[in-house]
Structure 1
Amino acid sequence: MTLFLLCVFAFLAGFTDAIAGGGGLIQTPAALVLLPQYQLATVLGTLKIPSFSGTSIATVQYLRRVPVNWLLIGLMTAVAFCAAFAGSTLLTHVNNSFMKPLLLFMLVIVAIYTYTNKRFGDHIEKAHSFRQQVTYSLLISLIIGFYDGFIGPGAGSFLILSFIGLMGFDFLKASAYAKFVNLATNLGSITFFTLTGKIIYSIALPMALCNALGGWAGARLAILRGNTFIRIFFLIVVCATIIRFAYDVWVR
């Protein structure tokens, strides 16, 4: 029954993450509740396998409809991999709860801005030089890649927000680029947790299959419905992230 419930939550996480990021908001709390006998690092390491699986399937779906700059993708994924590895390494030595009040404040601002600015996420690609594009892309990958390895929940939403705000991408293109960076961050964390023996494969592999199915369904729906749908879903995910962090800061 525990494994069945974990697989259900993995499907929902993959579905949500493929559209607007934030799948960790569903999958991580569920696993922490259902697997209380394991250490935090073991649970988080195990969850990186289904996260990678679902993101991989979603990425393939986006690639069929959204053109990408492969040079930028290559640079971003390399930086994100190393940053996530470093973040996961730090996670085993430092408590990450001190960052949550700051993130809570930032997310409230993001939610208000996204709700009030109806054109947020429209196609307004900015006239950056190639050097500026590379600079912004590497900064996004470095900062959020480290965040994903160190804390995790909401990283996909932060990536989408960054690609829209700094690069001027629309929601669909931002989601596509976010998937590539998420792949690299998940792989970086998986590498670390594999080397330290923190992954329970008997749990991770069935969850990976369900997360992949959710990722396929979510990406198909996002591509079919377009920017308006993704914007609404993004706002819902951000609000859910706010509630999660508010609970961590003020209740737990």
Structure 2
Amino acid sequence: MLLKLFVAFLILMPNSFIQLNKNSYDFLIISPDAWLSEIEALKQHKESKGIKTIAVGLNEIYSSNVARNGRDDAEKVKYFIKNAIEEWGIKYVMLVGGRKVGLKEDWYMPVRYVWVNDRSSSWEYERCFLSDLYFADIYDAKGNFSSWDTNNNGYYGEYEHEIGDEKFYDEVDLFPDLYVGRIPAENREELKKVIENIIKYENSSPSNRAILCGEIYIQMILGMLQRENIFLKKLQMG
């Protein structure tokens, strides 16, 4: 009797719930179709570490029903990631592909530019810059799909974005809903080398030595020097 009830329950359950239990994954790798053979080594390595991994080509994403609402390739990828969270329980995403060589801007893996007025420098400020946070911030504060274009003007992540005499804003919460990384490879050889290094590093003995790189603004340095000079003068004056 209990078995019959369980079977009936499965029949009535949404397909998404059944798929989540049949094919759950931790790690999603999205790659150009031509590079999927190189990705296989990384996929097998991650699975050997107990990380359930699936690799999907861009053509499959673009032709999928879950991506049909995407206005461009980047949004199609984001819709697919959203579905992967809900259907497979994905926690980590690796985007594979950088910019193609050439004067014309073209990418192996879609990117998203966000539009702000960055006046941090004394010269002409940047009007837009790349942000892969776009692919990690899947939901807004209400749990809906976060398009990063809430005013629907075709510009994403706007903050004081000036068009003529008017400033435009988008409502973006900026909270990532999963981990997203990118291998910005420009060709197969670069990709193979990066994958080899990842596997070599993760198979090596743990180390407590590391080099951390960061950025510091010249204004910050000048401010620190100025405060130090004031402090030294006070010491000299007793």
TM-score bucket (shorter structure): under 0.3
Which TM-score applies when normalising by structure 2? Answer: 0.25
More strand by share: 2
Which TM-score applies when normalising by structure 1? Answer: 0.24
More helix by share: 1
Q: Which has the higher contact order (CA 8 A, sep 6+)?
A: 1
Larger of the two Rg values belongs to structure: 2
